[in-house]
Amino acid sequence: MNNVFILLLRRESRLLFRRPAELANPLVFFAIVIALFPLAVGPETQLLRTIAPGVLWVAALLSVLLSLDGLFRSDFEDGSLEQWVVSPHPLALLVLAKVLAHWAFSGLALVLLAPLLGLMLGLPVAVLPVLLLSLLLGTPVLSLLGAVGAALTVGLKRGGLLLALLILPLYIPVLILGSGALQAALQGLPTAGHLLWLASLTALAVTLTPFAIAAGLTIGVGE
């Protein structure tokens, strides 16, 4: 099982390296959204600092969602998903490897880019570790939950809108906890509670969502 997991991670990594535009699109979208806010609301530092937690997390959420519509699309079109479904290996393990590789190349890059954009919005350097940690804990949940929607809509030609309608309500707890941690850090309040809840959501998502993704793919391929 470990060998299959590692081999699939390597395969997905090679495929992602061959499609750099798919990796860059969410990051460019994230950067553009953050860069436009100071132009829209003005250069006042206090105002930008006040809205920064919500802006950063909403932009991160939408960027992750943007990258998920085609997560299983190419595998569905070339028949790879059918081979996964009939494979003797657990489908949940295979999809976990795929989502993990996708997050490592897109979600993790977004996390590393966030502090620079946070400084652009006037965030103090002291709260940047909280921003990094909250996104590091929250973005895997966004990717895993989004993969559930991507699995359910994989057989649809234009499933992007349906994917958003299915997944956005599930993103609300992550959005509240992530922006709440950053707001607490800005006010000098403890952030451990928000971060622990995010860590709990991450553990639950890693444990449970692979089975939901596998079930969604089985239904999609069967149709």
Angle, alpha carbons 191-134-104 (nearest 5°) = 160
The distance of Cα 93 from the centroid of its chain, to the nearest Å, equals 19
What is the reported pTM? Answer: 0.89
Q: What is the pLDDT of residues 176-216, one digit of tens each?
A: 999 999 999 999 899 999 999 999 999 999 999 999 998 88
69, 160 contact by CB (below 8 A): yes
Other CB atoms within a 10 A radius of the CB of residue 11 amount to: 14
Ranges of each domain in the chain? 2-222
Each residue of 178-197: b (16+ CB within 10 Å) or e? Answer: bbbbbbbbbeeeebeebbeb
Q: What is the pLDDT of residues 59-87, one digit of tens each?
A: 999 998 888 877 887 777 777 778 878 87
